[in-house]
Each structure stands twice: as C-alpha cells, then as structure tokens.
Amino acid sequence: MRTRKIPFIQGEYYHVFNRGIDKRDIFSDQYDIKRFIQSMNEFNNVEPIGSIYQNSFNKISLRGRTPKLYTKSEKLVDFICYCLNPNHYHFMLSQISDNGISEFMRRLNGGYTSYFNHKNHRSGPLFQGCFKANHIDSNEYLLHVSAYINLNDSVHKLRGSTPKCSSFEEYVGAKSATGICNKDIILGQFENPKKYKQFAQEALDGILERRKIDKELTRLLLE
C-alpha cells in the first residue's frame, strides 16, 4: 500500500484537488454539481451510510424534513472552502477524525464515480488517480488558497451556463449558499465579509497577472 508523502494531521489545513481522467469533464450539468455537493455532505460522516440512493429511503421517515448537517463530532473533515469546475475540483479541508481526509475522499470519489458511470452508461475510473494534497503551512498561504479556491471559476475564466459552483457565495453572505463550510478560520481575520471579498478579488488580480507573465515567458522561451 502506497504511503502518502504528506501525512494528514488533525487541526492542520490541506489543499485537496483532483481532475477527470484524461482531463475529461466530471460535471456535465448543474444536476451533477448538486449531486456532488450532496455527496460532500452525506459521505462526511464517521458512520458509513452505504450509497446515497439507499440512504434516501431512510429519509422517507423524516416526512419531507431536510436532514440536519452532521455535527463536528460526527464528521470526518471540516470543509473550509471548495470549488467545482467542469473537469476538476478543489477543496480546503481540515481533518477531524483519524484518517478522516483519506476515508472521506475514498467515499466521495468512489460514490460519485458510481453515480456518474450509471448515469452515462460507462465503466472504469472517472478521476485521474488518487487525489492530490498540499499542506497549508502558513496563514498567508491559507488566505491566498482560500481566494484561489473560492474564485477558481474566474481563474479559469468560466462563463455562462458552464457547470460550476464554489463556496464564495457562503463567504460573501449570499442567501442561496449551501452552508457546508466552516468559515471562521478565514472570515475571523476580516472585519466583515465585504472586506474578505475585497481581499479575494485583489488576490485574484495577482493570480491572473502572474499567469499572464508566465504565459508570456513560456512564449519567449519557445521562440
């Protein structure tokens, strides 16, 4: 069994990401996005739930009430922020339970792959190998990664009806936001959500400028 170069430690923060195999799309429409977000919540539980389809029958007894989000003691990980783009995703996670990140990601990727393959009459892996993870080892890095993830659709200049979603609406107080993130570690460093929005937009401008410079340098090296 392969050992990760970066061990996951409780209380630390990690940038976790993956993409579709052969760079293929993993989200075809907004329904796929909603299903993935549902998976992000339901698989984030120390107790196995089986499949989401099977678990849905347990909700019949709730007589239409929306199930509550799991408490911190019941969860594997804390979501700090996330983004879902057509062919890849980014998360910022903090591990709560032993082996929580690895177990959560195993459930999430496996469960969504089963759903996606059934929906699209395909078989085989959907994601490009095991998920990738970087340890966030400073507060400056933490804040900038949050901006990069929350505004990732703008980093990639996604527009219109392209399937996409991020936690940015949660951070800036949008009423339609899903509300699955623990934002305290980020928003607690700003006077209000408006100040964080300003910081994130400025960070995005810096990211886009660096990308422009890197692209120009690559062009010059190839000439």
CATH code: domain of residue 187: 3.30.70.1290
In a domain, 183, yes or no: yes
Domain count within the chain: 1
Q: What share of the chain is helix, strand, coil (3-state, %, to 5)?
A: 45, 15, 40
Between CA 90 and CA 115 the distance in angstroms is 20
Give the pLDDT score at 57: 41
In a domain, 82, yes or no: yes
Give the pLDDT score at 199: 96
Q: Which tokens hold the place of 173?
A: 């107080």
**pTM greater than 0.95:** no
Strand order in the sheet with 165-166: 132-136, 13-19, 88-95, 77-85, 165-166
In a domain, 7, yes or no: no
In a domain, 185, yes or no: yes
Q: Which tokens hold the place of 101?
A: 């990140």
Q: Give the pLDDT of the chain (223 residues) as one tens digit per residue.
A: 455 677 899 999 999 999 999 989 999 999 999 999 999 999 999 987 666 655 544 444 434 444 455 555 689 999 999 999 999 999 999 999 999 999 999 999 999 999 999 999 999 999 999 999 999 999 999 999 999 999 998 888 777 667 789 999 999 986 655 689 999 999 999 999 999 999 999 999 998 888 776 665 555 555 5
In a domain, 1, yes or no: no
Q: Which domain holds residue 166?
A: 13-222
